A and B are shown apart, each in its own frame.
Chain A
Amino acid sequence: MIKKLVSMFSHGPLHLIIIVIALMWILPSVGLLITSFRSSADVAASGWWTVFEHPFNFTCYTLKNYQEVIFKIGIGRAFLNTLLITIPAIIIPILIASFAAYAFAWMEFPGRRFLFVILVGLLVVPLQMTLIPVLRIFNKLGIAGTFPGIWLAHTGYGLPLIIYLLYNFISGLPSELFDSSAIDGATPFQIFVKIVMPLSLTALASVTIFEFLWVWNDFLIALLYLGGTADVAPLTVRISALVGSYGQGWELLTAAAFVSMALPLVLFLGLQRYFVKGILAGSVKG
């Protein structure tokens, strides 16, 4: 009886606190979304929340901002660039990392532990430490400002975390798998392709969503190694330039920002489970 009363009193504030926190977290994004569908006159005249005064008045919404940013301000092209950067920059490092993680987990070779400790150290080296030498090499090779250059860069920068996460998973596979396969005469490569990879699909999904978000949302590396020219600049670089030039054109800025957020949001919400697994594997060993 007392317990029930206590829980009633304690749960009212509990719900209130949680809902207030959730609102604080979501309102800024809601404002962005609504503003991106309003006309420039409306955006300048009143706050986005005023649309809730007439919740069923759908005439105040327009797709014009999206038309303008995608076709006139180059966000469509930037979206394509981001896609062209992201897809190879996911596939290449994950492929290379899978081989390495497998070898680190199940093969014996001199220096294995030493190399892996270095890798753990490299996990948190600030990228700033690498920018100037890499850019100089890129300039010499003539791949600064090109897609292959940034694919390679993302591969190098993504590898430590991807190897680490895959290693955590692959090294946890039962050793009997490897013993019995080896007795059956399978080569290390056959074991890798036929047993390890199929069993690691969850882990591969985790690192894919990680690497996708990292590359898709990257700003610094693209800014330095690709630059701002329209034929290569990704969404983040393009939008940051818009913030400078369209400072008060909120209806355009918000539409452009939403174009850049839509795909990662959908993937993230759909694959949240794998993302959470990845985070947990990377920090506290599960």
Chain B
Amino acid sequence: MRTKKITPWLYIGPATFFLFFFLVYPLINTIYISFFNYNSEIFIGIKNYVYCFTNEVMLNSFRNNALWVIVFVPLTVVLGLIIAVLVDRVKYESIVKSIIFMPMAISFVGAGVIWKFVYAYRPASAAQIGILNALRSFFNSEPIPWLIERPWLNNLCLIMVGVWISTGFCVVILSASYKGIPRELLEAARVDGATEFKIFWKIILPLMKPTIAVVTTAMIISILKVFDIVYVMTNGSFNTDVIANRMYKEMFVFGNYGRASSIAVILLVLVVPMIIINIQRFREQEAIR
């Protein structure tokens, strides 16, 4: 479309201003102040980063983040895939999907309350009001303090909350991709005597690979920054801290802006591969256009 030279800039001007002011400038500034002391007055080189990679609490948070990625990402993607393929075969598909999408409408804080109640713990002598411990006492097992039991159980319990919230997102995308596979293809394979299992591995999975990659990167990006769930449910106690919560604490509780910035930069570096993948994918799409 032909326009005067100035016109496009009027249209993208406000957006460019906001993007620069709230994203580009802060990004550069955060990298800069990560090399300074707590109030950004004295240059201290890489000291903040040395702290991040030597301090026991920080290292523990990195381990927890790694656990989040290792458990959360495959679980959401695989569950999403299984649910997408299974519900396609039943008539009440849309109801089941709505139920699984529903947590996406809820805040992480709300989800934190919901699940804290699921994990509620009381001593064995009292009536259990959390459904998980009630189930355990029904089977005559001791109640478990789910959110306190370290080092694995409490972290896994927090991760499950994330899975509960995010699986719906995976189902949305994977289900659309699955429905895009020509039915004749699957029918032809069935006629040729392929088992459902084989059809899944040899036809469905390869065809859905690009979409699975998209969903996987989206899950990795979202979970590296996990904050709300941990903040609300344990606030990092009992070895459940994660780097985003450490950053918040350095910034708001300890007022150490240098350290907080270096944690943010580390978070960014972890996400950079995903940014590159996204841009490459965008370029490919534009090339097709």
Check: A28 CB closer than 8 A to any chain B CB.
yes
Contacts of B3 in A (CB 8 A): 107-108, 188
Contacts of B87 in A (CB 8 A): 18
Contact A260 B214 (CB under 8 A): no
How far, in Å, is A48 (CB) from chain B's closest CB?
A: 7
Check: A62 CB closer than 8 A to any chain B CB.
no
Range for the number of chain B residues in contact with chain A: 35 or more
Contacts of B129 in A (CB 8 A): 43-44, 46-48, 250
Check: A272 CB closer than 8 A to any chain B CB.
yes
Q: Report which B residues bind A (CB closer than 8 A).
A: 1-3, 5, 7-9, 11-12, 14-16, 18-19, 21-27, 29-30, 33, 83, 86-87, 89-90, 95-96, 98-110, 112-118, 120, 127-131, 134, 164, 169, 172-173, 176-177, 196, 210-211, 214-215, 218, 221, 224-225, 227-228, 231-232, 244, 247-248, 251-252, 257, 260-261, 263-265, 267-268, 271, 274-275, 278-279, 282-283, 285-286, 289
Check: A63 CB closer than 8 A to any chain B CB.
no
Contact of A224 among B22, B221, B252 (CB under 8 A): B252
A133 to B27 Cα, complex, angstroms? 8
Question: Contacting chain B: which of A51-59, A197-205, A213-221?
Answer: A213-221
Q: Report which A residues bind B (CB closer than 8 A).
A: 10-11, 14-15, 17-18, 21-22, 25-29, 31-32, 35, 43-49, 93, 96-97, 99-100, 102-104, 106-109, 112-113, 115, 117-134, 137, 152-153, 155-157, 159-160, 163, 171, 178, 182, 188, 191, 213, 216-220, 224, 235-236, 239-240, 243, 250, 253-254, 256-257, 260-261, 264-265, 267-269, 272, 275-276, 279-280, 283-285
How far, in Å, is A133 (CB) from chain B's closest CB?
A: 4
Contacts of B18 in A (CB 8 A): 93, 96, 152, 155-156, 159
Contact A121 B102 (CB under 8 A): no
